[in-house]
Structure 1
Amino acid sequence: MEEENSFLGRGWAFPPAFDAKSKKSVMAEEEEDIRQSLFIIISTTPGERIMNPKFGCDLISSVFDNIDSLAVNRMKDLIRTAILNYEPRITLHEVIIDTSQSFEGVVHITMEYTIRKINVRTNIVYPFYLKEGTNVTGM
């Protein structure tokens, strides 16, 4: 029972979960797998993965930066580089960083991209919390 978009990928859902009935891990497929992959790439600090220490995006280094044009451009570059290196299924068009809530400790990062194999253009918004101790679970 292969789906026509099965080539987009299938993997464990993030965060990992298990179905109580089937006693199997919950899986993410196709566009949802790509969306979750982007969240994982942006959320992972390089060095966290022992077998792939370069994997991730070093956004955490921006937590204490003054939110000015230099910091925004640095964040955009970190995101572009990480996605270019670790998500080959998409073409990233634009990274938009909304700093309107930076005084509340939140910067919204919008990534506009096209899924290469099916030529679908979409976007996601990643809430990057600047306050220490805040956890990102808004997937």
Structure 2
Amino acid sequence: MDNSLTNRQKEFLGSGWSFPVTFSVGNHQLVLTRYEKNIEDSIDVIMQTKFGERPLASEFGSGLQQYFFKKMDETLKGEIKKTVETALLDNEPRITVLNIAVVFADMLAGRIEITIDYEYNQTNTRHNYVYPFYIKEGTNL
């Protein structure tokens, strides 16, 4: 992260509710995120949201859940990469995606790591974000 920018220069990165929504212990105030953390939270929400999950914004999200229980092969990597790229292009205007890498981190557990390299549109500062996605979603029932 570019620590040379002042808070005033980072205002364009925004602020908002933390995800998941939490309250501070001492004064029970809503916890907010700012700047780089706000964008990371936004990416996390986009990756976790199914299409149609938000009634007033039915196209919001990534729809990654459609890949649950799919065969882990090169075709799946390409589909996930395209899905993430489109979701971020449509839902997060503060960044430009530079690269998306999809890696099968644990085939037995169905764990895929999605690494997103991006830069902030206003300052061209580069960052990356790793999202763990589990193909074999399940419980211990």
TM over 0.5: yes
Q: CA deviation at 1:29?
A: 0.4
Aligned Cα root-mean-square deviation (Å): 1.3
Give the unaligned 5+ runs of structure 2.
1-6
1:19 counterpart = 2:24: yes
Aligned residue type for 2:22: A
Pick from 6, 10, 26 the counterpart of residue 5 of structure 1: 10
Name the CA shift for 1:123/1:72 in 2 (closer, same or farther; >3 Å).
same
Give 2:39's match in structure 1, choosing from 10, 30, 34: 34
CA contact (8 A) 1:96 1:109 kept: yes
Conserved 8 A contact 1:112-1:122: yes
Partner of 2:4: none
Corresponding residue of 1:74: 79
Output the amino acid matched with 2:77: V
Residue of structure 2 equivalent to 1:93: 98
Q: Which residue of 1 aligns with 2:66?
A: 61
**Counterpart amino acid of 1:13?**
S
Which structure has more relative contact order (CA 8 Å, sep 6+)? It is: 2
Q: Provide TM-score, normalisation by structure 2.
A: 0.89
TM-score normalised by length of structure 1: 0.90
CA drift at 1:68: 1.1
Cα separation, 1, equivalents of 2:47 and 2:10: 24
Residue 49 of structure 1 is aligned with which of 38, 49, 54? 54
- Separation of aligned partners in 1, 2:113 and 2:29: 34
How much has 1:63 moved relative to structure 2? Answer: 1.0
Note if contact 1:46-1:55 (Cα within 8 Å) is conserved in structure 2.
Answer: yes
Report if the CA contact (8 A) 1:41-1:86 is conserved: yes
Q: SS of the counterpart of 1:4?
A: coil
Q: Is the 8 A contact 2:77 2:103 kept in 1?
A: no
C-alpha offsets along residues 34-71 of structure 1, whole Å, 9 cap, x if unaligned? 01100100110001111101100111111111111111
Matching residue's letter, 2:127: T
